[in-house]
Amino acid sequence: MKREIVLTAAKDKDIPFIVELLKENGLPFSDIPDKRGSLFLARSDGTVIGIGGG
């Protein structure tokens, strides 16, 4: 079964979610608010399955 993955640009409302996810996994997060224009979310069936950017 193929699942479609949709990439979307992160919006301001997504930043707290991204920061919390990184915190929970022991990853650096302090510069995330400064990278708003270069972050994205990966979704499958409406559920976030990944984040990325740089």
Question: How high is the pLDDT of residue 34?
Answer: 87
Position 35 in a domain = yes
Residue-wise pLDDT tens digits, 12-53? 999 999 999 999 999 999 999 888 889 999 999 989 999 999
Question: How high is the pLDDT of residue 22?
Answer: 93
Position 1 in a domain = no
- pLDDT grade, residue 2 (50/70/90)? confident
Do 1 and 45 meet the contact criterion of CB atoms below 8 Å apart? no
Position 24 in a domain = yes
CB within 8 Å of 53: residues ≥ 6 apart = 10, 35, 38, 39, 40
Question: How high is the pLDDT of residue 16?
Answer: 94
Q: Tell me the mean pLDDT in the region 1-9.
A: 90
Q: Which domain holds residue 31?
A: 6-53
Pick from 31, 32, 34: which is nearest to 17 by CA? 32
10 Å CB burial of residue 18 (0-12, 13-18, 19+) is: buried
The total domain count for the chain is 1
DSSP assigned state of 40:
E
